[in-house]
């Protein structure tokens, strides 16, 4: 039976999650050099087209269609066959299935866009599109089915409220593979890869934060108490991540920075995502603080180790997904959400083990398959990277014949 | 006639301009420049990655004056632009062969 409040809330949430993709584009674009602004923006923005096409024809059916051995949905809902204004029997039973479908579509859109930060400023557009499409089909859809579509990880009891595994860990693991396969940008260690516009990055951060209320709050799939819990937890974790990262910078580098504030906020928001609807606000504050600390350390280590995860997808989203999913195993409480689970602190250590199992499976699967897909794309397209000349000229002119700033 | 080129800190520009106006300098040309001298650059930190920024933004003002006014102008610029800290800038004095006003064709000191 359709509930009008739930329907209105999830439609609005879907619009908010859509906004996160152009928000991510701004977040990333502010951190690249001025010759790569438009190319970076387009790598996120074009996912709206590539993935929405994929989603309405096969992606939704692969993710949420009738289950085949716990591994994947079948294609009986190809091209939205049977998906209409009446609710699904299985998911979000109080809203039209079309609303559920388009809400989930927005998650599928932003996930491959997250990966683009790892190979910023150096990947060719064609291979990038092919890789992202293949990745959505072979990594996103199956993992989404395993966790949210009644697949085998869901059967094992793995929980992921809004995408710690499905969104952040899959994209973070793919980012790690991309960093290894593509290699660093020309001039790493010599050239100055300084952000060209931090106000742009902060604008993106603000819009992402706004959208995240729909991302996590909407994942309750109803306008109810669970949505309220997720909404508040999202905010306080983002706040705590922001505070922690800035405090660390202030202490260690003597000066707090705006990029640190943005990074900490995103770390907190990403990390609380899998737990948002299953924990108390105080646990969310702790998770946010932990996210700020751990992601700060990961990013610092990356700089020392010489990996060129250019915009820190692994250190913020990947690690955030891991920490958040494991923390859920510690802090989950049926007193907060009866349809969730009790975690370690509620005396149920086995749920923590289940969550760690989920992290290992999704992390390894996403990393290995992404690695192979990149290699396949490399062979099909005859190279993943821009030529050295094009990389020097920059994506905007070399790949798109445009200039971001004509002043 | 001489050309005086002064490279100064950007935030001192208004002080220098006002001081020069007071001693009757009626025009100048301004260029945004970047550079370094003994001051060297400074370090910026982004997500823990440290970058040495060598070229520091400065402004360069160009003024043409009759030769006998050079000392007064130079002293005025120094007084207005000096902070006493490293990076206050430099002043160059160059000979100028001729000045011509485009509108009227006047030349020499009349055209300044």
- How far apart are alpha carbons A368 and B41 in whole angstroms? 44
Report all structural domains of chain B as residue ranges with CATH numbers, in order of start.
2-111 (3.30.70.120)
- How far apart are alpha carbons B94 and B1 in whole angstroms? 9
- Note whether A270 and A316 are within 8 A (CB): yes
Query: Residue A43 burial (CB < 10 Å; 0-12/13-18/19+)?
Result: buried
Considering the four listed CATH numbers 3.40.50.880, 1.20.950.20, 3.90.1720.10, 1.10.3430.10, the one that applies to the domain covering A4-400 is 1.10.3430.10
Residue in B14, B7, B29 with CA at minimum distance from that of residue B99: B29
| Chains A, B: CB pairs < 8 Å | 29
Candidates B47, B52, B55: best to mutate against A (most CBs of A within 10 A) is B47
Question: Closest residue of A to B51, CA-based?
Answer: A192
- How far apart are alpha carbons A72 and B53 in whole angstroms? 52
pLDDT tens per residue across span A159-180: 999 999 999 999 999 999 999 9
Question: Closest residue of A to B54, CA-based?
Answer: A192
Average pLDDT over residues A332-338: 97
User: Residue A257 and residue B49: Cβ atoms within 8 Å?
Assistant: no
Kindly report the average pLDDT of chain A as a whole number: 97
Domain boundaries in chain A?
A: 4-400
Going by pLDDT thresholds of 50, 70 and 90, the confidence category of residue B29 is very high
pLDDT of A149 reads: 97
pLDDT of A48 reads: 98
pLDDT tens per residue across span B30-79: 999 999 988 788 889 999 888 988 899 999 999 999 999 999 999 999 99
- Chain A residues inside the 8 Å CB shell of B47: 259-260, 263, 299, 303, 312
Q: Is the pLDDT of residue B21 over 90?
A: yes
Among B45, B52, B53, select the one facing A257 at the smallest CB separation.
Answer: B45
Whole-angstrom CA distances from A216 to A16, A167, A230, A234, B70 are 11, 12, 6, 7, 69
- Note whether A211 and A19 are within 8 A (CB): yes
pLDDT of A360 reads: 98
pLDDT tens per residue across span A348-361: 999 999 999 999 99
Going by pLDDT thresholds of 50, 70 and 90, the confidence category of residue A6 is very high
pTM: 0.92
- Chain A residues inside the 8 Å CB shell of B53: 192, 194
pLDDT tens per residue across span A194-211: 999 999 999 999 999 999
Tokens linked to A181:
């396969």
- Chain A residues inside the 8 Å CB shell of B49: 193, 303
Q: At CA A274, angle to CA A273 and CA A278, rounded to 5?
A: 105
User: Residue B45 and residue A312: Cβ atoms within 8 Å?
Assistant: no
Q: What is the DSSP string of A200-256?
A: HHHHHHHHHHHHHIIIIIGGGSSSSHHHHHHHHHHHHHHHHHHHHHHHHHHHHHSS-
pLDDT of A13 reads: 98
Average pLDDT over residues B78-91: 94
- Note whether A285 and A237 are within 8 A (CB): yes
pLDDT of A302 reads: 93
Helix (H, G, I), strand (E, B) or coil at A361: helix
Q: Is the pLDDT of residue A243 over 80?
A: yes
- Chain B residues inside the 8 Å CB shell of A253: 45, 48
- Chain A residues inside the 8 Å CB shell of B45: 249, 253, 255, 257
What's CA B96's distance to the chain center, in Å?
16
Q: Is the pLDDT of residue A75 over 80?
A: yes
Question: Closest residue of B to A263, CA-based?
Answer: B47
How crowded is residue A386: how many other Cβ atoms within 10 Å of its Cβ?
22
pLDDT of A306 reads: 86
Average pLDDT over residues A307-317: 96
Q: Is the pLDDT of residue A294 over 90?
A: yes
pLDDT of A336 reads: 97
pLDDT tens per residue across span A252-265: 999 999 999 999 99
Backbone angles phi, psi at A67, to 5 degrees: -70, 135
CB-based contacts of A211, cutoff 8 Å, min separation 6? A16, A17, A18, A19, A20, A23
Share of chain A above pLDDT 70, in %: 100
Average pLDDT over residues A132-137: 98
Kindly give the pairing relationship between strand B56-65 and strand B29-35: antiparallel
Question: Closest residue of B to A190, CA-based?
Answer: B51
How crowded is residue A126: how many other Cβ atoms within 10 Å of its Cβ?
15
Q: Is the pLDDT of residue A237 over 90?
A: yes
């Amino acid at each position: 039976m359709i509930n009008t409040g739930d329907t209105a809330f999830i439609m609005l949430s879907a619009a908010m999650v859509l906004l996160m993709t152009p928000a991510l584009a701004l977040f990333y674009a502010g951190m690249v050099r001025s010759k790569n602004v438009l190319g970076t923006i387009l790598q996120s923005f074009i996912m709206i087209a590539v993935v929405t096409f994929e989603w309405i024809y096969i992606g939704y059916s692969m993710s949420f269609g009738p289950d085949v051995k716990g591994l994947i949905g079948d294609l009986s809902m190809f091209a939205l066959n049977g998906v209409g204004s009446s609710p699904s029997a299985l998911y979000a039973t109080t809203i039209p299935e079309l609303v559920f479908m388009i809400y989930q579509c927005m998650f599928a859109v932003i996930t491959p866009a997250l990966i683009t930060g790892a190979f910023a400023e150096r990947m060719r557009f064609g291979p990038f599109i092919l890789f992202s499409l293949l990745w959505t089909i072979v990594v996103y859809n199956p993992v989404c089915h395993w966790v949210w579509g009644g697949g085998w990880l869901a059967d094992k009891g793995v929980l992921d409220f809004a995408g710690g595994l499905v969104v952040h860990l899959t994209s973070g693991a793919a980012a790690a593979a991309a960093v290894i396969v593509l290699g660093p940008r020309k001039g790493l260690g010599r050239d100055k890869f300084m952000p060209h516009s931090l106000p742009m990055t902060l604008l993106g951060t603000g819009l992402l934060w706004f959208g995240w209320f729909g991302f996590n709050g909407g994942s309750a799939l109803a306008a109810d108490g669970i949505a309220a819990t997720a909404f508040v937890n999202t905010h306080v974790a983002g706040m705590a991540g922001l505070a922690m990262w800035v405090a660390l910078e202030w202490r260690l580098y003597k000066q707090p920075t705006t990029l640190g504030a943005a990074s900490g906020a995103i770390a907190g928001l990403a990390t609380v995502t899998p737990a948002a609807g299953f924990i108390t606000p105080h646990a969310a504050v702790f998770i946010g603080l932990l996210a700020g600390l751990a992601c700060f350390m990961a990013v610092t280590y990356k700089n020392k180790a010489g990996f060129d995860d250019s915009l820190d997808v692994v250190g913020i989203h990947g690690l955030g997904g891991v920490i958040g999913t494991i923390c859920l195993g510690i802090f989950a409480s049926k007193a907060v959400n009866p349809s969730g689970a009790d975690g370690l602190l509620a005396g149920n250590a086995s749920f923590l083990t289940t969550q760690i199992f989920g992290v290992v499976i999704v992390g390894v699967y996403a990393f290995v398959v992404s690695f192979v897909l990149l290699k396949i794309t490399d062979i099909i397209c005859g190279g993943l990277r821009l030529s050295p000349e094009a990389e020097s000229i920059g994506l905007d002119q070399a790949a798109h014949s445009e200039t971001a700033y004509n002043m | 006639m001489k050309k005086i080129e002064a490279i100064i800190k950007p935030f001192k520009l208004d002080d220098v301009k006002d001081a020069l106006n007071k001693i009757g300098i009626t025009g100048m040309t301004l260029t945004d420049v970047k550079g370094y001298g003994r001051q060297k650059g400074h370090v910026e930190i982004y997500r823990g990655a440290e970058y040495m920024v060598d070229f520091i933004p400065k402004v360069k003002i160009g003024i043409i004056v009759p030769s006998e006014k050079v000392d007064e102008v130079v002293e005025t610029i120094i007084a207005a632009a000096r902070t006493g800290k490293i990076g206050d800038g430099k002043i160059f004095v160059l000979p100028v062969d001729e000045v011509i006003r485009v509108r009227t064709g006047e030349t020499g000191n009349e055209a300044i």
